[in-house]
């Protein structure tokens, strides 16, 4: 009886540690370590004052190919990697901003800035959402980081 209890306990431990495929890491994009501060009082970031607006931050060492920052309302912001998440970074992989969407120049994939998800896809390969970065907002300062 004692061996049966050990077996049930071991089986419970093994089955409780299953993997979750919904949190797969993107094999195409690295996760760079950076921190960048945005001052909303500067003219180049004035567009972020209005909800529904976005800017492209193309500064050295910010993301892989830059970062899109999206103001989705009530002083809340999202930050996304500007490199298309569905292939390795290349000359054409920096996406173009067309708020509230971004589009990859390589194959025309389009993503929503509010959710980070691809808008239309009818292929069979697995597609990845936009790579998100952390954001903290304090008054007229926004910090994007990873």
Count each helix (H run) and each strand (E run) in the chain, helices first: 1, 9
Structural domain spans, the chain? 30-145
Q: Label residue 111 exposed, middle or buried (CB < 10 Å: 0-12, 13-18, 19+).
A: buried
The CATH number given to 30-145 is: 2.102.10.10
Other residues' Cβ atoms within 10 Å of the Cβ of residue 13: 9
Q: Global pTM?
A: 0.82
pLDDT tens readout for residues 102-139: 999 998 899 999 999 999 877 777 899 999 999 999 99
pLDDT over 80 at 19, yes or no: no
């Amino acid at each position: 009886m004692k061996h049966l209890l050990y077996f049930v306990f071991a089986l419970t431990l093994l089955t409780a540690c299953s993997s979750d495929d919904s949190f797969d890491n993107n094999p195409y994009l690295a996760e760079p370590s950076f921190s960048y501060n945005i001052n909303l009082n500067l003219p180049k970031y004035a567009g972020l004052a209005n909800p529904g607006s976005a800017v492209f931050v193309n500064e050295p060492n910010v993301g892989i190919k830059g970062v899109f920052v999206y103001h989705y309302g009530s002083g809340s912001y999202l930050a996304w990697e500007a490199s298309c998440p569905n292939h390795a970074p290349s000359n054409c992989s920096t996406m173009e901003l067309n708020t509230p969407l971004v589009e990859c120049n390589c194959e025309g994939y389009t993503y929503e800035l509010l959710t980070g998800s691809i808008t239309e896809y009818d292929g069979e390969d697995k597609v990845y959402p936009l790579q998100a970065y952390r954001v903290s907002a304090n008054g007229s300062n926004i910090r994007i980081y990873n």
